[in-house]
Structure 1
Amino acid sequence: MSVTYNIHPAFAVDDSSLLETDLTTCQLLVLTGKGVFSYVVYNPVAKKFMALKSYRFQTQKGATAELEMIEQVFDADKLLFTHFKAVYLAFDGGDTTIVPEKHYNPSLKKDYLELIYPEKTQEVILADIMHEQQMVNIYAVDKDLLGYLRKEFATDNTLHVNTALLKSYSFDNDYRDINGVAFIDIQQHKFTLTVYKLGQLLSQQEIACQNGLDVVYHLINALRQTGLNEQYAKVKVGGAVTADSQIYEELHRFIPKVEWMQRLPGFGYINKMQEIPAYYFNNLYALALCV
């Protein structure tokens, strides 16, 4: 039995320029994760983001409930049925692992993932090849969710949000810091932690969290395991978090060098987007690096 959920856009950002733009020349970049469905309208010729909308909802556990909520987003949001030049589907969460490109065999991508995670019957294994970083991001997506989105958007363009984040971090000035840098992308009840030293990826992992101390504990543990010192490494924070949140306050208690992530350079943003804190939606904007 289908259930009606309380679904509403937590953010809806656009201006008159959207009505003046030929959307058939634009791309729709879609990001879906647990309790979140977001998208941005991107003009690839002008390299400018034209509109953004993000839905947040509470759900029961299970992919079926997630899919039902996304179906209701489609019922309410007619912009999703616009004929865009291209649509890209990005997924947040799920099982994921990174392997060096030189060791990657496409026929074994399922085996790479099953070395770490148990096999699930309702999943499809996908892979993003990052030639410039010589890595491959292998990840699992719920089969029904993938099928629904591919059908509704008539697209086979897929990627994992961590692929976009990895690409975006190379634009940060501290990417090659000798003391190391940790990027923390915070979302609902989880965060993605990525650690670099001198531009080399040392670690990336998705971690469930309930409070700020959870984030601090896993951050310090990851830094020490990769041979870095939390007193000297820089920590860049972005995502669904605010300066007065417990997470940010706890990070400042224990980590001397904490900074906010900045907007991805080289792109245009409408004025209303610039009114939102720069570290919000950094994962969504980063999708433009993968198209």
Structure 2
Amino acid sequence: MQPAFTVDDATLLETDLTTCHLLVLVGRGALSYVVFDPAAGGKFLALKSYNFQPQKLAVADLEMIEQVFDADKLLFTAFRSVLLAFDTANSTLVPEKHYSPQLKKEYMHMAYPEKLQEVVLADILPPPLSVVNIYSADKDLLGFLRKEFSTDRVVHAHSALLQAYPYDFDFRNSEGIAYVAVQRNRFTLTIYSGGKLVNQQEQPYQTGLDVVYHLVNTLRLLSLDEQKVKVKLGGALTSDSLVYQELYKFIPRLEWVQRLPEFQYISKMQEIPGYYFHNLYALALCV
């Protein structure tokens, strides 16, 4: 299996990887990772992204991920630590003051039906967020990745995004701001008003108009004006994509989300639009 994206340079060979973190993002029909070196001023040294046809059964996705492991020997390097992030699961946010670890399954199943072979996990996000992200993952997939990487460090992709967005210069936009992180056939919408989180949800889509509909409808339900709210778009998209074109028709303040400014990136990464892997880079905030 060949990666869809490979980005690295000679510095990777010159670096002691035992001082680096491997940040792995598992999505529907995708596995991506970056090598992150905190000793080099917080620098990303390498990135790979694999795509395959999403499967209805998690066991089929697991078979594809096993093929990635067979093909990519860098994954077996002795890194300082490995962080696993899931973007494959249902998730729900609960205010930390109302959260009880013993009730995380109950919180989860109030929002989503129980699945076979699921394990329910929770990320307690640091202040000032004061929320807990509760999510489920496939038990076999989680077990395989934990065993292969010898790690118990697990987060949800949305937890990383929630920690990344406040670094954006427009985060406290007076008219509100909406971040749209687009993946294959789905997107995550995160909305802030006055710097406070008011909504995060994941929605499926088939056309660009689906994204517009969900975005505009959610903004109006929150009493925000889509003509004034700033919308920042991230994902493996281009200005020619149908999602961008439809949003451009209806959203006057549409921009691309940018790379996190507090980190460093090798020159080849800077040649790729920063919004392509914003959710992957954000995992460095969870190390």
Q: Same fold (TM over 0.5)?
A: yes
| Residue number in structure 2 paired with 1:66 | 61
CA contact (8 A) 1:26 1:84 kept: yes
Distance of 1:156 and 1:237 partners within structure 2:
32
Distance of 1:179 and 1:59 partners within structure 2:
37
Please list the CA deviations of residues 97-156 of structure 1 after superposition, one character each: whole Å capped at 9, or x if unmatched: 000111110010000011111111210000000121101000000000000000000000
| Residue number in structure 2 paired with 1:55 | 50
Distance of 1:256 and 1:268 partners within structure 2:
31
Deviation (angstroms), 1:177: 1.2
The unaligned stretches of length 5 or more in structure 2 are: none
CA contact (8 A) 2:181 2:189 kept: yes
| Residue number in structure 2 paired with 1:4 | none
Aligned residue among 67, 74, 80 for 2:75: 80
CA contact (8 A) 2:29 2:55 kept: no
Name the SS of the counterpart of 2:244 in structure 1. Answer: helix
Distance of 2:126 and 2:14 partners within structure 1:
37
Pair 1:36 & 2:36 matched: no
| Residue number in structure 1 paired with 2:196 | 200
Q: What is the TM-score of this pair, normalised by structure 1?
A: 0.97
| Residue number in structure 2 paired with 1:98 | 93
Report percent identity of matched pairs: 63
The unaligned stretches of length 5 or more in structure 1 are: 1-6
| Residue number in structure 2 paired with 1:3 | none
Q: Which amino acid aligns with 1:49?
A: F
Q: Which amino acid aligns with 1:122?
A: Q
Root mean square deviation of aligned Cα: 0.7
Aligned residue among 167, 171, 177 for 1:175: 171
| Residue number in structure 2 paired with 1:236 | 232
Distance of 1:93 and 1:120 partners within structure 2:
13
Pair 1:151 & 2:178 matched: no
Aligned residue among 11, 19, 22 for 1:25: 19
Q: Could you list the runs of 4 or more consecutive aligned residues of structure 1 that deviate by over 6 angstroms after TM superposition? A: none
Distance of 1:60 and 1:262 partners within structure 2:
31
Deviation (angstroms), 1:45: 1.8
| Residue number in structure 1 paired with 2:217 | 221
| Residue number in structure 2 paired with 1:161 | 157
Q: What is the TM-score of this pair, normalised by structure 2?
A: 0.98
| Residue number in structure 1 paired with 2:135 | 139
CA contact (8 A) 2:119 2:136 kept: yes
Q: Which amino acid aligns with 1:234?
A: K
Q: Which amino acid aligns with 1:13?
A: V
| Residue number in structure 2 paired with 1:15 | 9
Name the SS of the counterpart of 1:230 in structure 2. Answer: coil
